[in-house]
Amino acid sequence: MKTCDYKTLQQTSKNTTDKLLELEQSKQEELVLPAFAREVPLSAKKREKNNVIEVQFTWPHSASTHIRAERIVHRKDENIEELFRIEERDGADCACTSRNGKTYLLRKTTRQIAEALLNAHGKIKGAIEAIVGWLKTVLGSVYVVSKVEQEAWSFDRRIAKNTVKHLDAEDLDAEHKKRFCEIITEKIAELHKGTVVLGNFTLNKVLLTGNSALFTDLRDMRVTRKRSVTVEEFKKMLQYLFALGIAEKADIFYSIAVYAVANEESCNEWYMEKTGKMPQTTYDVTRAIETEI
């Protein structure tokens, strides 16, 4: 009959116990979510007014520096309440995040500008990104929120994430540059028809979408009563594109001609201010703008 001493039994028992303990601990570790993922509001109160929904969140005390929404205001047809927590630093100038296959851009601004941009939705069509709401964070930052509705390309690396791909100006060949100038001229002309100016145009304010484009980062956008201001913005935009080497002289003349036809009233007012007389033809306006550029 085989015998087994106590020491061997004790060691076997100990090994089995250790393995069971390790297994149990590993299961527990799998069930424990990261601290950030465990951060959820304690409560949410919702109310609706004039097709706009406002949600007020209450949060537990936390030292987190990530964006946590204390208040979210959004269009009734665009629910963004899932943006109550975003893994981006609260206070960052801009952020890009994705929820359920949808991509959102957040821009830090003031409550007044955020509300104005949300109210402007539907009044300015075709040329600008879709503003869907805004949020105020626990730390007091305010972000206006826009939705990227299709795959897009941006020159701004800070928002190049998810369905927004980064594009470098140096990657554009001659044909792409020419087409870019055409698209931007069409979009700025469309915007200026409503006497709305974008304010301080840069490549970072453009989202390319297939064969079209949208203006993004609308924090400087405003309505002007003086129509000639729109022409000045258009002129500065072409000067900017020419300085970057994106617009050639031929592109500039073509863009001015297209713009002058689309915004005749504004161009005539601008020409009157510059020369003191009404232009005889569109060509007069085109030549005058070209000369200044």
pLDDT of residue 208: 95
pLDDT of residue 115: 96
**For residues 238 and 185, what is the distance between their CA atoms, to the nearest angstrom?**
9
* Per-residue pLDDT reduced to its tens digit, 257-277: 999 999 999 999 999 999 999
Per DSSP, which regions of 176-232 are E strands? Answer: 196-197, 206-209, 212-215, 222-223
pLDDT of residue 34: 53
Predicted confidence (pLDDT) at residue 8 exceeds the cutoff of 50: no
pLDDT of residue 117: 96
Predicted confidence (pLDDT) at residue 50 exceeds the cutoff of 60: yes
Please calculate the CA angle 227-230-233 and round it to the nearest 5 degrees. Answer: 155
* Per-residue pLDDT reduced to its tens digit, 12-42: 444 555 655 565 555 544 455 455 556 889 9
**Which CA distances in Å does 220 have to 109, 117, 143, 205, 259?**
10, 10, 14, 11, 22
State the angle between helix axes of 282-292 and 264-275 in degrees (0 to 180), rounded to the nearest 10. 60
pLDDT of residue 5: 43
The two three-digit tokens of residue 153, written as one number: 């390309």
Long-range contacts of 231-236 (CB under 8 A, 24+ apart): 231/192, 231/263, 231/266, 231/267, 231/269, 231/270, 231/289, 232/270, 233/188, 233/192, 233/197, 233/198, 233/199, 233/201, 234/188, 234/189, 234/192, 234/259, 234/289, 235/289, 235/292, 235/293, 236/201
The two three-digit tokens of residue 47, written as one number: 């109310």
Domain boundaries, the chain: 37-149, 169-292
Strands 152-154 and 164-166: parallel
Quote the percentage of the chain above a pLDDT of 70.
87
Q: Contact 173/211 with Cβ under 8 angstroms?
A: no
Residue 97 carries which side chain, given as an amino acid letter? T
User: Mean pLDDT throughout 234-255?
Assistant: 96
* Per-residue pLDDT reduced to its tens digit, 68-126: 999 999 999 999 999 999 999 999 999 999 998 899 999 999 999 999 999 998 888 77
C-alpha count within 13 angstroms, C-beta hemisphere, residue 28: 6
Chain mean pLDDT for the chain: 89
The CATH class given to the 169-292 domain equals mainly alpha
Predicted confidence (pLDDT) at residue 2 exceeds the cutoff of 70: no
The DSSP call for residue 195 is T
Q: Which band of pLDDT confidence, cut at 50, 70 and 90, is reported for residue 143?
A: very high
